[in-house]
Structure 1
Amino acid sequence: MNLYKRLFVVALPLTIQQLLSSSVNLLDTLMIGQLSEVAIAAVGLSNQFYFVYALLLFGLSSGGGIFIAQYWGAKDTVNISKTTALMLTVAALLLIPFFILAVFFPSFTIRLFSPDARVIELAVSYLRVIGYSLLPAAISQVFYSVLRSTEHVFIAMVFSGITMGLNAFFNWILIFGLFGLPALGVFGAGLATLIARLAELGMVMAVIYGKSLPGKLGFIHFQSLTKRFFKRFMVYVLPAMGNELSWSMGITLYAVIYSHIATDVLAAHRMMQSIESFTFAFLFSIAHATAIIVGKELGKRKFDEAIEVANKSIRINFILSLITGLTIFAFSGWMIGVYNVKPEVRGLAYLILGLSLLFLPVKSLNALLVVGIFRAGGDTKYTLFVEGGTLWALGVPLTAFVGLILEAPFPWVFSMSLLEEGMKGLILSIRYRRRIWVRNVIGENI
C-alpha cells in the first residue's frame, strides 16, 4: 500500500476522534462558561489535576504501544496480550494516589493550584466525582492503545466518539437541569463525565472479548509475566511515563502561575486551550499514525521503510500545521465571542491564541518527534531529558519570573512558554538526523 495511503487510513479515524474530543471539550467549556468565569477556572484547575493523571496514562499506553506495534509487525499476539496485562497492572498502581487525592482530599488538592476561595469551593465538588471516573478511564485508555497499535483504529474512533457524545449530552442535562432534573452546575459536569466513562468501558470490553481482538487476555497472561519481560518493558516505558509526568507537572505549574496573576487570566487561558485543541486534531493524528506505522516497520526490521515513513510524516505535519493554524485563527474571533465572559477576558484569550498559533509548526514538530518517531523506536530516555530540561530550566522559571516578579502584561508571560518550545524543537531536530531512534526493541536482550 502507498505510504501516503497508509498514513491516511490510520490517521483519518484518529483525526475524527481528536476532532470529536476537541468539539466536546469546547462544548463543555462553553456550557460551564454560561455559569461564570469562576466556574470556568474551577473546572479548568480540576482538569489540570486530571491532566497529570491522563498524561501518565498516555505515557504508559504510548510507551507500551512501542512493544505492541513492534509485536504486531512480528505477528506475535501472545506477547501483545502479555504487554496488555503488564500495562493494566502498572495503570492500577498509578490510580491509587490520584484516587485518594481526588476523592478524600479534594480541597487540599485544589489549594495546591489556586488560592481563590470561590474557585476552590466549586472545584471540590467537581473533583470528587471525577475521582470515581479514574479507574474506567485507565482501563479504556490501555485497550485503546492496543486497538490503535494493532491498526484497529476505527473501533477506537467509534467508541471514543460515542463516549464524548454521551458526555456532552449528560453535561447539557445535568449542568442546566433539563427534563425535570435539578440544575447541578459544575457538579453535574463531573457526574456526566463519570457516566460517560463507565459506558465507554463497557463498550470497549464487549468488543475486545466479543470479537477476540488483539489484547484479549486472561489470568494466564498475568501469571506469565516474568522479571525479564517486566524489566525490558520498564526500560522504555518508565522514561515515557516520566516524560509525561515532568511535562504535565510543568504545564500544571504554568496554570498555577497564571492563577496567581488573576482568575480572569486563568479563564482566558482555559478558553484559548479549548479552541487551540482543534489544531491538534490533525497534528496528533499524524503523530499517532506515524508511531503505529514506524513501530510496525521496525518490528519487521524494515529500517529504511521506517525512515521513509518518518521523513514524509514530517513534511505532511508541517503543511497541516500551517493550514490548521490559519483556519483556526480565521474563525477565532467567532469562537471566542460565544463565551459569556467579560470583554477584557475575551480580548486576552484572542491575543494569546494568536501567539500560540504562530508557534504551531514548532509545537507540532515537537509532538511528532517525541510521540510519533522517537517513542516508536524506544528513544524515550533522551526525550525525557530534553523535554524535562527545556521545560524546567527555561520555560517555567522564565514564566514565573516575568509573571510574578516583573509583573509584566500576560501576553509577555505567556510568550515565555513558547520560547521553550523553540529551543526544544532545535535540540530534537538534531537528534532526529542522527537516527538513533531506528531500532527494533522487541529483539533486544536487556
Structure 2
Amino acid sequence: MKDIYKKLLYIAVPIMLQGMITATVNLVDVFMIGQVSESAIAAVSLANQVVMLLIISLFGISSAGVIFISQYHGVDDFPSIRKVIAFCSVLTLAVSSIFFLASFFFPQTLIQLFTSETVVVQLGGEYLTIVATSFFFTALSISLGQMLSGMGHVKEAMYASVLALFINVLLNYVLIFGHFGFPPLGVIGAAIATTCAKFCECLLLLFLAYQRKYPVFVSFNDFKRIDKSFSLNYLKTALPVIGSYTCWALGATTLTAIYSKMGTDVLVSISVFNSLEKIASTGILAMSCATGIIIGHELGRNNVDKAILIARKFNAIGAIFAIIMAVILASFAESLIGLYDLSPDTQDTAIKITRLFCLLLPLITVNSINMMGTLKSGGQTRYIFMVDIICMWGTTIPIALICMRANLPVMYVYLIAIGGGELVKLTLSGLRVQRLEWAKSLT
C-alpha cells in the first residue's frame, strides 16, 4: 500500500493546493469588495450563485468523463480517452452557451430570483453581465483540468490557478479601488479582474497540455468515432452525475435564497463564511478526487480486492484529516473573519456558523469520499443522484424552510438543516459502500 499512499499524496496535494488557490481568489474578492459596501458583498455573492450553477454543471459533465478516463488510462487506451474528451467538449459548449445567453442578456432578472433590494439587484446585474464573457474560458479550464486529473496529471491545473490568483488579486487592487491612474470601478472592476484571470488560466492550461504532449487534443476523427452505443453508455453514466451536481447546486442556491429572506446582514455573514468554507473544503475535494482516480485505475485493471482495500483505508485517512482541519479552522475563525469590515452582529454570526461547519466537517468529509470518490469510481452514479435528491430536497431544504418560518437564528437553521442532510447521506452512502456493489470495471 506504500505506493498507493504516495500516489494519494501525488494526486491529492496538487488538487488541494489548486482548490485552496481558487478559494483564496474568492476570499480576496469578498474581502476587497467588502471595502466598498455590504450591499456590494451581497450583490457579488448572489451573482456568483449563477456562476456556481454553471461551474457545478460543468463539473458534472466532466466528472462523468473522469470516471471513464481513469479506467481507460489504467489500460492505456488513449483513442477512447480522446473520444470521451470530444464528447465532453460538445456538452460543455452547449451548457456554457445557455448560461452565457441568460447571464449576458437577463442579468438583473436572475438576481431578482434571490432579492428585491434595488441596489443589490443593480450591482449584481452589472457584475454578472461582465463575468458572463468568461464562461467559455471557465468551461474549457474545468473540462481540461478534470480530464488531465483522470490521467493522473494534476499539477498543470494548479499552476494555472496560481496564475489566475496573481492576476485576480493584482487587477482587483487596481480596478476596484482605482490605482495606477485607473478610476475606481468597484463591483465592475472585480468582474473585469475575474474575467481576465479566467482567460489567462485557460490559456496557460492549454499551453502546458500542448507542451507536454498529453493526449487531450482531439481531432475531427475523434468526433466521428462517437457512435450511438458510446453516447448512450456515456449519458447513462453522465446524466445522473450532472443531475447530482445540479441537484446540489440548485439546493445550495435555494439555501442562499432562504438566507437572503432572513436579511441582508444574514446573507453577508453567510457570504463571508462561504469564502472560508471553500478553503477548508479543498481538502475534502482533493481526498474525494484522489480516491476516485486511484480506485478507478485499479478497477480498470480489474484489481477489485485492492480497490476495496483502498476505499476503506482512504475513508479512515479522510476522517482524521477532517478533524485536524476542523480544529485549525475553528481556532482561527475569529481572527480571519475579524479582517472583514463588518458590523459586530454580522461578524459574530459568521464566526458561529464557521465553527458549526467545523463540527460537521468530519461527517461531510466521509460522505464526500464515499459518494464522489468510491461510489462514483465504480459507476454508481444513479444511486448517488438518488441520495443527493433525498438528502438535499427531502431533508435539508424542507428543514431549512421550517426553521426559517419558526424564526430560528441562522446558526440553528444551518446546523439542523445541513447536519440532518449529512446524517441521512452517511446512512445511505455507507450502506452502499459496505455492500461492495460499486467494485466493478466499466471498461
TM > 0.5 fold call: yes
1:214 deviates by 2.1
Is residue 163–residue 200 contact of structure 2 (8 Å, CA) maintained in 1?
no
Partner of 2:175: 174
Partner of 1:187: 188
Is residue 70–residue 151 contact of structure 2 (8 Å, CA) maintained in 1?
yes
1:24 deviates by 2.0
Paired amino acid for 1:107: Q
Cα deviation per residue 1:160-205 (whole Å; 9 max; x = unaligned)? 2212221222112111111111111111111111111111222222
Aligned partners of 2:25, 2:107: CA distance in 1, in Å?
Answer: 25
Cα deviation per residue 1:92-138 (whole Å; 9 max; x = unaligned)? 11122211110000011100111221210110100001111111110
Aligned partners of 1:365, 1:170: CA distance in 2, in Å?
Answer: 38
Paired amino acid for 1:204: L
Is residue 146–residue 214 contact of structure 1 (8 Å, CA) maintained in 2?
no
Cα deviation per residue 1:423-443 (whole Å; 9 max; x = unaligned)? 11121111110111111112x
Is residue 160–residue 202 contact of structure 2 (8 Å, CA) maintained in 1?
no
Paired amino acid for 2:237: Y
Partner of 1:284: 285
Aligned partners of 1:402, 1:247: CA distance in 2, in Å?
Answer: 20
How many correspondences in the alignment?
441
Aligned partners of 1:370, 1:116: CA distance in 2, in Å?
Answer: 38
Paired amino acid for 1:389: I
Partner of 2:414: 414
1:340 deviates by 0.2
Paired amino acid for 1:283: I
Aligned partners of 1:175, 1:219: CA distance in 2, in Å?
Answer: 43
SS of the equivalent of 1:278 reads helix
Partner of 2:208: 207
1:391 deviates by 0.9
Is residue 14–residue 285 contact of structure 1 (8 Å, CA) maintained in 2?
yes
Partner of 1:196: 197
- 1:316-355 equivalent positions in 2, closer than 5 A: 316-355=317-356
Partner of 1:362: 363
SS of the equivalent of 1:2 reads helix
SS of the equivalent of 2:36 reads coil
Aligned partners of 2:167, 2:311: CA distance in 1, in Å?
Answer: 36
Gaps of 5+ in 1: none
1:53 deviates by 0.8
1:222 deviates by 1.2
Partner of 1:80: 81
Paired amino acid for 1:351: K
Is residue 174–residue 182 contact of structure 2 (8 Å, CA) maintained in 1?
yes
Aligned partners of 1:159, 1:339: CA distance in 2, in Å?
Answer: 28
Paired amino acid for 1:409: P
Instruction: Quote the sequence identity (%).
Output: 32
- 1:96-175 equivalent positions in 2, closer than 5 A: 96-175=97-176
Aligned partners of 1:259, 1:31: CA distance in 2, in Å?
Answer: 21
Paired amino acid for 2:9: F
Cα deviation per residue 1:369-417 (whole Å; 9 max; x = unaligned)? 12111111110000100111111111111111211x2222222222222
Partner of 1:34: 35
Task: Report the more deviating stretch, 263-272 or 207-216.
Answer: 207-216
Aligned partners of 1:19, 1:410: CA distance in 2, in Å?
Answer: 26
Aligned partners of 2:17, 2:206: CA distance in 1, in Å?
Answer: 22
Aligned partners of 1:159, 1:224: CA distance in 2, in Å?
Answer: 31
1:209 deviates by 2.6
Partner of 1:234: 235
Partner of 1:93: 94
Aligned partners of 2:226, 2:271: CA distance in 1, in Å?
Answer: 42
Task: Report the more deviating stretch, 153-162 or 350-359.
Answer: 153-162
Aligned partners of 1:402, 1:280: CA distance in 2, in Å?
Answer: 25
Partner of 1:308: 309
Paired amino acid for 1:219: F
Is residue 150–residue 214 contact of structure 1 (8 Å, CA) maintained in 2?
no
1:207 deviates by 2.4
Aligned partners of 1:67, 1:388: CA distance in 2, in Å?
Answer: 24
Is residue 11–residue 152 contact of structure 2 (8 Å, CA) maintained in 1?
yes
Matched, 1:220 2:210: no
Paired amino acid for 1:392: W
Aligned partners of 2:130, 2:366: CA distance in 1, in Å?
Answer: 36
SS of the equivalent of 1:46 reads helix
Aligned partners of 1:4, 1:33: CA distance in 2, in Å?
Answer: 41
Partner of 2:19: 18
Cα-Cα RMSD:
1.1
TM-score w.r.t. length of structure 1? 0.97
SS of the equivalent of 2:26 reads helix
TM-score w.r.t. length of structure 2? 0.97
Aligned partners of 1:214, 1:342: CA distance in 2, in Å?
Answer: 52
Aligned partners of 1:201, 1:273: CA distance in 2, in Å?
Answer: 25
1:242 deviates by 0.3
SS of the equivalent of 1:254 reads helix
Partner of 1:71: 72
Is residue 115–residue 260 contact of structure 1 (8 Å, CA) maintained in 2?
no
Task: Report the more deviating stretch, 171-180 or 69-78.
Answer: 171-180
Is residue 41–residue 267 contact of structure 1 (8 Å, CA) maintained in 2?
yes
Aligned partners of 1:92, 1:358: CA distance in 2, in Å?
Answer: 39
